[in-house]
């Protein structure tokens, strides 16, 4: 089935298609944008392609059940997602302050979705339709599928499936799972009996039919013991593999959460199929009056070329969502999408990005990943690139050359994450030459994150010398091709492992390279990451070692201020941090100092003022008559 229009958002839309009833209704916290960068659009189009009738309820008013009823009762069930971003991350900054705008809402308006949208939407659907099956999906559900530490409540919360009382949860990228679930339901099988599909979770009152499973510490146990929390997290982390991963069970009082092993990632043909489906590639016209949906601007002229990442940064949730096995699209599929982009009336000749989680990964890290799974206790790039790692940029180079040759294309940029350590591991430096020559828009953004080895170790990032070597190569390459281009490093403050001493070391590094970052990302403890487990427990779940965690508001502000020490607004915080760390040597007029000693100048100024005052007193005295 092909629907060459936006999917129904009203009864009138259904009537135009001749649909009296929908098979599935997708409820999303995002505005309706029919583009392959939006998970809700992908899942909907996958189902429609398989012959199912799907409607969209985008950003319903959750204060009444009316919006949830507007498309009627679906034949098979509701699909619920908070949207492309966890609703709490969408709403609040790392300082837990309410954000002012929402790029996934019409006109950027904030407040069109509730906090914890997945749970709220499910509760409203239960009020509206009682026993209609509800299936959760998306990043919010995926990363909250086990009992987890919640930064905003500062406590352990239950699995989102248990809290919402939905029937099933799809974790990861859900195309395979949702099709299999739909086909079983179409065949008349009750959703509560569909318990075997990889990449899904369900709940049960007993474990009589659950086999070959590892039971991890219960919700009650991890609530009372940080050690138990870390032990449970470590098992989740290690079993996140579609080939060797085991089924996991976690008890929540009288209910058991069961996670089936991860689903195998889509192969190239399947990924091409997903991106080759008919998308309108824009926001729904109903948002035009409000100026559209800002998030489309980031992706409208960009191309997703792969999924997955074997980089495994501790603060990134990709391991738990897309997995470590990289899957990429064919050149033919990507070039076809490039032609669609060039046909857009507002296309100016620039493809803004070609990439994914990591732009320069195009294949699995090694042959073993597809045979025996990713290594359980070993990373591909950290602390050094594995001897089995396949390092090759030739396929990516060929793809970029082909994209540059597409008619109407003036420039193809690579702006999504580039792993500079992977580039440095490649003996053939041709990729760096062509990257600088054709695919950098004056500034190349990369993410060293920090410079202190004790912090990088907890981040799972390469040591500082690798980044320094990359910077030298970048500068040398640009000099050879006669271009003046710059590196913009992404940096993170207050990550577990970072002390004031670590932050000062990074500030000194920034002083030495004469760089002041305009933005610094404070570490944000989001669900599902190794770093968040460290933040909560003060222990590294993998090694069991204690980790220093900057938690107080004041220290986090000081660490952030140190990275922007030139900003006058940060002066007092920087001075306080330097004094606390006994680094007064960095306060003064010396070439290595971060800030000047204002008290010294203030004292001098006071002395000058006092001197003037004394002189003034004498000058006002009457001179004696001669």
27 and 147 housed in the same domain: yes
Range name among 58-67, 237-246, 317-326, 599-608 with the lowest pLDDT average: 599-608
CA separation for the pair 488, 474 (Å, rounded): 12
Assess if residue 138 is contained within a domain.
Answer: yes
Number of domain units in the chain: 2
| Residue recorded with tokens 């905003």 | 152
pLDDT digits over 320-344, tens only?
A: 899 999 999 999 999 999 999 999 9
Assess if residue 534 is contained within a domain.
Answer: no
What mean pLDDT is predicted for residues 349-368?
94
pLDDT digits over 525-564, tens only?
A: 999 999 999 999 999 999 999 999 999 999 999 999 999 9
Q: Read off the tokens for 117.
A: 């949208």
CA separation for the pair 93, 76 (Å, rounded): 38
Nearest to 118 by CA among 85, 162, 156, 82: 82
**H/E element, 521:** strand 521-522
Domain that holds residue 336: 301-441
191 and 317 housed in the same domain: no
pLDDT digits over 224-241, tens only?
A: 999 999 999 999 999 999
Any bridge partners for residue 200, and if so which?
A: 170
CA separation for the pair 314, 461 (Å, rounded): 8
* Domain end (from 159, 177, 200): 200
Assess if residue 374 is contained within a domain.
Answer: yes
Hey, CA dihedral for 165, 42, 103, 524, is it positive or negative?
positive
Residue 318 clears pLDDT 90, i.e. is over it: no
Residue 626 pLDDT: 34
Buried/exposed code over 594-608 (b: 16+ C-beta within 10 A; e: otherwise)? bbeeeeeeeeeeeee
Q: In 3-state terms, the chain is what percent helix, strand and coil (to 5)?
A: 40, 15, 45
Q: Is 520 or 97 the better-scoring residue by pLDDT?
A: 97
Q: What pLDDT band is residue 623 in, cutting at 50, 70 and 90?
A: very low
Assess if residue 172 is contained within a domain.
Answer: yes
- Mean pLDDT, the chain, integer: 94
**H/E element, 46:** helix 39-49
Strand duo 350-351 + 134-136: pairing: unpaired
Helix extents (H) in 405-461? 420-425, 430-438, 453-459
Whether 507 and 592 have beta carbons less than 8 Å apart is answered as no
Assess if residue 350 is contained within a domain.
Answer: yes
Residue 612 pLDDT: 52
Residue 602 clears pLDDT 70, i.e. is over it: no
CA separation for the pair 158, 144 (Å, rounded): 8
196 and 305 housed in the same domain: no
Burial of 467 (0-12, 13-18, 19+ CB in 10 A): buried
Assess if residue 235 is contained within a domain.
Answer: no
59 and 192 housed in the same domain: yes
Strand duo 247-252 + 213-216: pairing: parallel
Residue 118 clears pLDDT 60, i.e. is over it: yes
CA separation for the pair 206, 254 (Å, rounded): 8
193 and 316 housed in the same domain: no
* Domain end (from 171, 200, 229): 200
Q: Where are the beta strands (DSSP E) in 289-414?
A: 302-304, 306-307, 327-328, 350-351, 353-355, 411-412
Range name among 112-116, 161-165, 303-307, 320-324 with the lowest pLDDT average: 320-324
- The CATH number for 385's domain is 3.30.750.210
161 and 16 housed in the same domain: yes
- The CATH number for 118's domain is 3.40.50.280
Assess if residue 353 is contained within a domain.
Answer: yes
Q: Is 47 or 599 the better-scoring residue by pLDDT?
A: 47
Range name among 164-168, 312-316, 408-412, 621-625 with the lowest pLDDT average: 621-625
Residue 611 clears pLDDT 80, i.e. is over it: no
* Domain end (from 441, 463, 478): 441
DSSP classification of residue 304: E
What mean pLDDT is predicted for residues 36-42?
97
CA separation for the pair 480, 484 (Å, rounded): 10
Nearest to 359 by CA among 294, 320, 403: 403
Assess if residue 73 is contained within a domain.
Answer: yes
pTM of the predicted model as reported, rounded to 2 decimal places:
0.93
307 and 417 housed in the same domain: yes
Between the alpha carbon of residue 240 and those of residues 244, 330, 600, the distances in Å are 8, 26, 58
188, HSE (Cβ side, Cα atoms, 13 Å): 0
pLDDT digits over 181-222, tens only?
A: 999 999 999 999 999 999 999 999 999 999 999 999 999 999
Burial of 530 (0-12, 13-18, 19+ CB in 10 A): buried
Burial of 225 (0-12, 13-18, 19+ CB in 10 A): middle
């Amino acid at each position: 089935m092909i629907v060459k229009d936006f999917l129904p958002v009203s009864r009138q839309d259904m009537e135009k298609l001749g649909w009296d009833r929908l098979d599935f209704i997708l409820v999303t916290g995002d505005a309706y944008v029919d583009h392959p960068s939006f998970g809700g659009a992908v899942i909907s189009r996958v189902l429609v392609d398989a012959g199912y009738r799907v409607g969209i309820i985008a950003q319903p008013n959750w204060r009444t059940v009316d919006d949830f009823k507007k498309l009627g009762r679906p034949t098979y069930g509701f699909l619920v997602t908070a949207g492309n971003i966890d609703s709490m991350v969408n709403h609040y900054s790392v300082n837990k302050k309410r954000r002012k705008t929402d790029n996934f809402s019409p006109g950027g308006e904030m407040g069109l979705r509730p906090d914890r949208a997945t749970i709220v939407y499910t509760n409203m659907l239960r009020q509206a339709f009682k026993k209609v099956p509800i299936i959760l999906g998306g990043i919010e559900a995926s990363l909250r599928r086990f009992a987890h530490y919640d930064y905003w409540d500062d406590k352990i919360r239950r699995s989102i499936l248990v809290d919402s009382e939905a029937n099933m949860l799809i974790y990861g990228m859900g195309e395979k799972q949702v099709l299999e679930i739909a086909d079983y339901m179409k065949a008349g099988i009750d959703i509560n009996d569909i318990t075997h599909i990889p990449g899904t979770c369900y709940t049960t009152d007993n474990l009589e039919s659950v086999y070959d499973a590892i039971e991890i510490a219960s919700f009650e146990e991890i609530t009372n013991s940080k050690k138990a929390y870390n032990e449970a997290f470590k098992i989740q982390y290690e079993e996140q593999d579609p080939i060797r991963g085991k089924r996991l069970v976690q008890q929540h009082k009288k209910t058991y959460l069961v996670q089936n092993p991860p689903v195998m990632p889509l192969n190239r043909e399947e990924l091409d199929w997903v991106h080759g489906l008919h998308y309108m590639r824009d926001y729904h016209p109903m948002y035009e009056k409000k100026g559209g949906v800002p998030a489309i601007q980031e992706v409208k002229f960009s191309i997703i070329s792969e999924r997955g990442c074997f980089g495994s940064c501790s603060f990134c949730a990709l391991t738990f969502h897309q997995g470590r096995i990289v899957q990429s699209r064919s050149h033919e599929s990507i070039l076809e999408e490039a032609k669609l982009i060039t046909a857009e009336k507002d296309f100016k000749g620039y493809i803004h990005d070609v990439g994914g989680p990591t732009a320069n990964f195009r294949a699995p890290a090694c042959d073993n990943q597809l045979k025996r799974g990713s290594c359980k206790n070993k990373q591909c790039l950290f602390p050094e690139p594995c001897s089995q790692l396949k390092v090759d940029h030739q396929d990516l180079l060929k793809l970029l050359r082909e994209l540059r040759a597409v008619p109407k294309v003036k420039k193809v940029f690579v702006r999504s994450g580039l792993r500079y350590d992977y580039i440095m591991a490649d003996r053939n430096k041709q990729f760096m030459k062509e990257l600088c020559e054709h695919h950098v828009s004056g500034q190349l953004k990369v993410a060293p994150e920090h410079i202190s080895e004790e912090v990088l170790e907890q981040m799972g990032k390469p040591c500082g010398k690798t980044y320094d070597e990359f910077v030298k190569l970048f500068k040398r390459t640009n000099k050879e091709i006669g271009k003046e281009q710059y590196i913009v490093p992404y940096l993170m403050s207050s990550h577990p492992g970072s002390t004031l001493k670590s932050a000062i070391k990074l500030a000194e590094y920034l002083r030495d390279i004469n760089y002041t970052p305009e933005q610094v990302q404070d570490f944000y403890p989001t669900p599902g990451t190794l770093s968040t487990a460290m933040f909560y427990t003060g222990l590294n779940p993998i090694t069991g070692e204690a980790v220093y965690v900057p938690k107080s508001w004041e220290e986090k502000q000081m660490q952030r201020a140190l990275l922007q020490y030139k900003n006058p607004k940060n002066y007092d915080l920087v001075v306080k941090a330097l004094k606390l760390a006994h680094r007064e040597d960095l306060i003064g007029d010396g070439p290595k100092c971060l800030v000047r000693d204002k008290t010294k100048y203030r004292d001098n100024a006071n002395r000058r003022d006092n001197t003037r005052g004394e002189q003034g007193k004498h000058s006002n005295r009457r001179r004696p008559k001669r």
